Structure 1
Amino acid sequence: MFQGRRLFASSAKWTNRELIYKEYGEPKNALSLLLKERDDQAREKQVLVKWIASPINPADINQIQGVYPVKPKLPAVGGNEGVGRVVSSLNPNFQEGDLVIPAQSGLGVWRDFGMHDGGDIFKIDPRFTMEQAACLQVNPSTAYRMLKDFASLGKNDLIVQNGATSAVGRYVIQMCKVWGIQSVNVVRNRDNIDDLKKELKDLGATEVFTEEEFVKEGKGFTNAKLGLNCVGGKSSLMVSRSLGRDGTMVTYGGMSKQPIQVMTGPFIFKNIKLAGFWMSDAYKHNTFDRKEMYDEILEMYLANKLETVKFNKIDLANYEEAFEAASNGGSKQMFFNDN
């Protein structure tokens, strides 16, 4: 039974914190924490959600800066991804206690409570931990869809990716291990490169090379069915060089801010394909069974075959500290409010 009687049959008030921006700019200048007494009249099919956890993703920062394709009407509450629990519902599809995530980008989850239409949220399995659920919508789903949708990958098939230290890259490595796919991973050189290589191999990477190493070693990998590019520039050139006949390079980011590059010979004579992928757009067009994908990801978590990226949990009130850490390339930040 849905909890229609418990949700504000008449107006009800509660104090709500919302992290908002009234104009585009750098987060440290544009964001402010709004405290207000809210008086909301529930309408048919609405759901009251307590938002519990939400990571700070690069897309969130880009959205506040005004350079992200999804632009909510200003003033807007920040936060595209997160998890909440239904407090009460006038929608028969949701019950008190349900675990929910946003159905699309732009909902604005950096708040204590939100009143939402049923179509704006998506119910997920309660066996997800809060940390797993909070980052379910973007990174593991992006990895899953790219591995499933752009090539018919079987056991011992080969994929090559750059940006392997990214959150998506780490999920790609782990899912490849689960499905028996060989993954060759390219990373930037750094002082702790040996430790990093061990870390990625412990996750399940078949091979890990620096970009400099892959210029030479990559010549031994020319039959990949799938290449994943989130860097662009010369790094994308190396990925495209590794593709076999009818292989596909999928671009889902451009961290170098350089154009995509592709080897002319393989592009012509191997019939290489180039594709772009944006998870928000995939959700919008609803081209796959979302519940099926989430269920399979959950099974990997439950079997301890998948682990989340590590986050520093921080209260919404300390948002300035969180964004300072995020902008300085420190640990990944997650707003957390499970009181």
Structure 2
Amino acid sequence: WIMSLRTILSYIKKETKSLCVLNACSLNSATTWGHRYNFNLNQFSKRCYNTTRETQFKQLLVNSYGEPEEVVSLNVMTLPDIIKGTEVFARVLAAPVNPADINTIQGTYAYKPQFPFVPGNEGVLEVLEVGENVKELKKGDRIIPKLNALGTFRSALVAEEKDFIKIPSDIDPILASTIAVNPCTAYRMIKDYVPLQDGDVIIQNLANSAVGQAVIQIAADKGIKTINIVRPRPDLDKLKDFLESLGATLVIPLPDMRKNKDLLNELPKPRLGFNGVSGKDAAELIRMIEVGGTVVTYGGMARQPLFVPVGELIFRDIIFRGYWMTRWNLQHKDDPERITMLDYLFDLVRRGKFVPPPHELVPIEDFKTALRLAMPAKGMTNRKQILVFN
């Protein structure tokens, strides 16, 4: 060990691999030397890890707007050798494909990132390494993005500590990967527009969607009844059984709404309605809302404008609002209410009262299948497509 510090560092640079396998005994025997020359062995070991760990990972990349199967490609990216400052290096465990991701790739979404970009608004990650100024996160922590558009369709990423929220490690990673968009949308719509009490009623279309399923489960936990409108389909009875198992009060195909007038009249008039379809089909939902009630629109799966009969505004004073989870996140980026919301949802999971939507795990190499099945026109599978990584 009788060498100059400059010689030692030169040797480290040339022989990193062999030095990184120094055993504990060797490092302990070097401790005195390290203190003498003000050389931090923790930094030394971190540099060894940084220069020998894998630095190439897979990502999906979009270079132009268009149909996902045509414009999305699988690429290899290289991450920095050294993680510094407040940076966090994390691997992506799972990332669901949502309709908003498809719309972003198509160029029809409100948020339009610059090219090239990595799609993906949500997911769950595991921290692998942190910079020297990171305060709250450590290796092994589970995290989710604080804001949308972080680009989760890749096997690993480097971002700032402030871009993440730490989540409990006891939550199933697949469920955790789907918690930030659809369940949070359902929670906010139930909480923010109309003060509801035990026994009140919500009516919603698109009830079989991930948002619809979350609405059913959260409402049931709060003692709120739900009328759930779905599209006709061959497996309707199976779908009804499934939604009722989540806590749905009524599940009715859209064409049968008027036929079930007596059944609907047994419940109080809904004070709140959630519209994820729009188009003319939303008229049945609006017609059911009580005078002075509120309809919240969060989607437009019909790809048509929302048609509102003028009488609903003049004679029944129905209130129409819009909800966008991305806007709420931006406005409440560091609001404690966000943690309160997540804590409630995780507690619901622990109590066995919330389950993720039916899903399929898709390796990133098969991304075209996931993107195709996640498109609204193909969405009759009722299964959330979730990208997973080695």
TM-score by length of 2: 0.80
Match of 1:209 in 2: 252
Structure with greater Cα Rg: 2
In the other structure, the counterpart of 1:151 is 194
> Aligned residue for 1:166?
209
| Between structures 1 and 2, the one with greater strand share | 1
Task: Provide the rounded CA distance (Å) in 2 between the counterparts of 1:107 and 1:40.
Answer: 21
Counterpart CA distance in 2 for 1:197 and 1:41 is: 53
Correspondence 1:335 to 2:351 = no
Other structure's SS at 2:272 match: strand
What residue number does 2:142 align with?
Answer: 99
Q: How does 1:63-212 map to 2 (within 5 A)?
A: 63-90=104-131, 91-212=134-255
> Bigger shift: 186-195 or 301-310?
186-195
Q: Structure 1: which amino acid aligns with 2:59?
A: E
Alpha-carbon distance change, 43 to 142 in structure 1, aligned in 2, over 3 angstroms:
same
- The verdict on how the C-alpha distance between 1:8 and 1:190 changes in structure 2, with shifts beyond 3 A counting, is same
Partner of 1:58: 99
Aligned equivalents of 2:386 and 2:90: distance in 1?
18
Query: Helix, strand or coil for the counterpart of 2:291?
Result: strand
Compute the displacement of 1:154 (Å): 0.7
- Asked if 2 retains the 8 angstrom alpha-carbon contact of 1:71 and 1:106, the reply is no
Residue 240 (structure 1) shift: 1.5
CA contact (8 A) 2:217 2:353 kept: yes
Once the two structures are superposed, the pairs formed by residues 163-312 of structure 1 within 5 Å of their partners are 163-218=206-261, 220=265, 223-286=269-332, 289-312=337-360
Q: CA deviation at 1:285?
A: 0.6
Partner of 1:314: 362
Q: Which moved more, 1:36-45 or 1:307-316?
A: 36-45
Amino acid at match of 1:73: Q
**CA deviation string 1:91-126 (max 9, x = no partner):** 112111111111111110111211101222221122
Code of the aligned partner of 1:275: R
Asked if 1:25 is matched to 2:73, the reply is: no
Greater Cα offset, 276-285 or 321-330: 321-330
Question: Whole-Å Cα distance in 2 between the matches of residues 266 and 60 of structure 1?
Answer: 33
The answer to whether the 8 A contact 2:84-2:130 is kept is no
Secondary structure of the corresponding residue to residue 55 of structure 2: strand
TM-score normalised by L of structure 1: 0.92
Change (3 A) 1:170 1:7: farther
- Counterpart of 2:83 in structure 1: which amino acid? A
Q: How far apart, CA to CA, are the structure 2 residues paired with 1:55 and 1:7?
A: 32
**C-alpha distance in 1, partners of 2:201/2:74?**
47
Which 5+ residue runs of structure 2 have no aligned equivalent? 1-41
Give me the whole-angstrom Cα distance separating, in 2, the residues matched to 1:204 and 1:173.
6
Deviation at 1:239, TM superposition (A): 1.4
Give the number of the structure whose residues are more often helix, by fraction: 2
- The letter for the 2-side match of 1:279 is M
Q: Compute the displacement of 1:320 (Å).
A: 2.4
RMSD: 2.1
Give the C-alpha shift of residue 175 in structure 1. 1.2
Deviation at 1:135, TM superposition (A): 0.5
1:27: how far off?
A: 1.5
Distance 2:208 2:183 in 1: 14
Deviation at 1:227, TM superposition (A): 0.5
Change in CA separation of 1:201 and 1:11 when aligned onto 2, cut-off 3 Å = closer
Distance in 1 between the 2:189 and 2:328 partners? Answer: 11
* Residue identity matched to 2:181: V
Deviation at residue 321 of structure 1 after TM alignment = 3.0
Gaps of 5+ in 1: none
Equivalent residues of 2:198, 2:223 under 8 A apart: yes
Equivalent residue pairs, number: 335
Distance 1:257 1:323, change over 3 A: closer
Corresponding residue SS for 2:293? strand
Answer whether contact 2:68 2:372 (CA < 8 A) is retained.
no
SS at match of 1:241: helix
Moved more, 242-251 or 7-16: 7-16
Task: Tell me the percent identity.
Answer: 35
